A and B are shown apart, each in its own frame.
Chain A
Amino acid sequence: MTRSRLLAAAAALIFPAAAMAETIEGSVDFGGKAPTAGKLHREADPYCAKKTMTDPSVLVKSGKLENVWVHVTKGAKEIAKPPSESVEMDQKDCMYEPRMITAVVGQKIQAKNGDPILHNVHTYLGSATLFNKGMPNDKAAPIEYVAKDEGMMKWKCDVHPWMRGYIGVSKSGLQAVTKSDGSFKIDNVPPGKYTVEAWHEKYGTKTQEVTVEAGKPAKVTFKYDGTEKGGA
């Protein structure tokens, strides 16, 4: 290692990137008419049938879309250190809880079964199965998995075909999921040029180029109108 590189490495330790990092924030808008959420057909399993539920795949409130994974796909220079705490995906009342969450490559993901009945956790990256494990009841030991690759990790239960969960996995950790007001905020973004992608399970992806300057948050708005197709 050369002397100047050593100095640069030392400087990085003394002045962590976060000190001069900004945010990318904004919202995901939904134009057009939000589809009426249909009733989920959960009659097949007597336990699940006890509670009626509607399809949560499209959640729109005042023209804002919830559960959109917004993440940096290009431009990130650093690889995030995986947080020590696990990301938890629970199965409760025959639904995944939360429906969408994020994880960093190398981070532990833990699946729990909060129901007294059999669920199988069948996860996919694209169309390839990552793992498929049965959890006979709420006493089943949690499944532990370490996120290996970037991308949208899909969760399905083959016993209860309506169950869907999503974990957005990223290397840089520059990612967020929109809240019920459609807003999102990606922290610790060093100044630079980025490609930011929004992903929704029904409506697929949208991308934007974003320039982050020191001293002010970069604002981004994504717009869906409900005619898009894609996603899971």
Chain B
Amino acid sequence: MPDLRLSDAEAANVTAYLMTLKSDQKYPEQKTSPGERQKLAAQGKELIAKYGCFGCHNIKGFENAQKIGTELTEHGRKGVELLDFGDVQYFTEDPRHHQTYANWVWEKLHVPRVFAYERVETRMPQFDFTDEESLALLTFLKGQTGETPPPEYRTGMNEVQAAVYKGERLVFWNGCRNCHVVEKRGGKIRDQFNDENQSFAPPILTAEGWKVQPHWLFGFLKGPTPLRPWLTVRMPTFHFTDADATDIVHYFAAASNKSFPYLTAEAPQPEGERLRQTEALFKELQCVNCHVVGQLRPNQDPASAAPNFLLAKERLRPDWIPVWLKNPQALMDGTRMPSFWDFSDEAHPVSPSKLFDGDSKAQIEALRDYLMHLESPKSVPPPKTAATPRPPRRPAKSKRG
């Protein structure tokens, strides 16, 4: 009843009018005797007890009465075998008609006494629930399992899982997976490339957190500098906030179960005889036939060019390099990087070179150390960094919400 702000006089007038609407109908005279009335009152009390009216209404004398309805706290746990379908059978081929928990609840809500039969009386009133209301109730009831979800469905269990969860949201909202395969998913754009130009596709970022150093990735996300300037596809600048960039770096590290943000770069600088042998090995394997040191060699076909070695010390995790060298295919299926060593028998690896007495592990470690200290040779100009992509016209909005 809304407030109509009536004056006393107006209210009196409305009352006077309403009084004229009185019906002349006479109610039937109570013909019952006092004894009968007492009997009827007792019957009424029984009915109240039976139908549980006190569940909603306060009724004197029923203050301590037990509710009549089924306990619903853990109703969602009930198996079909615990539900009484009465005479209602849904044995048709249509799965919608099978005896299921959802079908039972749905029917119950629509026709509350549908499952009654001679021995079982049901008392639930008709609430005329709409389909939408019934679905909401069904959903709620199904959730009444009285249990916490199993650990694999819970987030934020520990720091690593929380970092992955947070990062996944950023990866999603920034559309990283449109171009990149991120942790084995996405990279639809790769369909646009064929066998011949696959090397020009955006890089696969599975286990990227194991491959690259956190501080390098942070810097790259803040201001992408081309690793392979000969590519036409380029990483856009997203204008990530420091916090978002940190979360993304943390995400990659966490997804690979690697330390964040600090790590010790264990790669002693090769010196003396070790340096001499490493340089010889580097030459023997002709790494720079594909890998760029600074910039493309004259006549070098960009289709066969591989990432710039001078970035290695800033960019790569030293513990990743040996695993990569041992079997590049195992880390990145289909990569153009060949394996030079055969580690199929881990105890007796086969090396293509006689240097370091043919010791595969010593060779690989030497190459890692060499790469982690590789400086720009004086004859080779430093890599061009002028090709930084233009920033987008307006800063990308953070869509986190």
Contacts and interface: CB of A to CB of B under 8 A. Distances in A.
A122 B299 contact: no
A137 B340 CA distance: 12
B122 interface: no
Interface in B345-401: 350, 352-353
B4 to A, nearest CB: 78
Interface in A75-129: 117-118, 120-122, 124, 127-129
A118 B336 contact: no
Nearest to A140: B352
A143 B336 CA distance: 17
Contacts of B289: 45, 117-118, 159
A221 interface: no
A43 B299 contact: yes
Contact of B286 (A49, A136, A161): A136
Nearest to A124: B195
A158 interface: yes
Main secondary structure of the interface of A (DSSP, over half): loop
Contacts of B328: 132
Given A117-B289, A121-B338, A122-B336, 9 more contacts: A120-B336, A124-B195, A132-B329, A133-B339, A134-B338, A136-B285, A137-B284, A158-B338, A160-B304
Given A158-B304, A232-B195, A132 B338 contact: yes
A128 B299 CA distance: 30
A90 to B, nearest CB: 17
A6 interface: no
A139 to B, nearest CB: 9
B337 interface: yes
A49 B299 CA distance: 10
What 4 pairs across the A-B complex have the smallest Cβ distances? Answer: A120-B338, A134-B338, A118-B286, A158-B336
A9 to B, nearest CB: 38
Most buried by A among B300, B342, B352: B352
A117 B352 CA distance: 13
A89 to B, nearest CB: 15
A134 B301 contact: no
B interface secondary structure, majority: loop
Contacts of A161: 196, 301, 303-304
A141 interface: yes
B95 interface: no
Nearest to B196: A161
Contact of A159 (B290, B329, B352, B353): B290
A118 to B, nearest CB: 4
Contacts of B284: 136-137
20 contacts: A41-B301, A43-B299, A44-B304, A45-B289, A118-B289, A120-B338, A122-B336, A122-B338, A124-B195, A127-B195, A127-B334, A128-B334, A131-B339, A132-B328, A132-B339, A135-B352, A136-B286, A158-B338, A159-B289, A161-B196
Contacts of B353: 136
Interface of B: 195-196, 199, 284-286, 289-290, 297, 299-301, 303-304, 328-329, 333-340, 342, 350, 352-353
Interface residues of A, number: 28
A44 B292 CA distance: 13
Interface in A39-83: 41, 43-45, 49
Contacts of A117: 286, 289
A135 B352 CA distance: 8
A158 B303 CA distance: 8
A58 B393 CA distance: 49
B293 to A, nearest CB: 15
A120 B339 CA distance: 9
Contacts of A121: 338
A129 B333 contact: yes
Nearest to B350: A141
Nearest to A158: B336
A44 B299 contact: yes
Nearest to B328: A132
A136 B334 contact: no
B369 to A, nearest CB: 20
A126 to B, nearest CB: 10
Interface string A147-177: 0000000000011110000000000000000
B300 A44 contact: yes
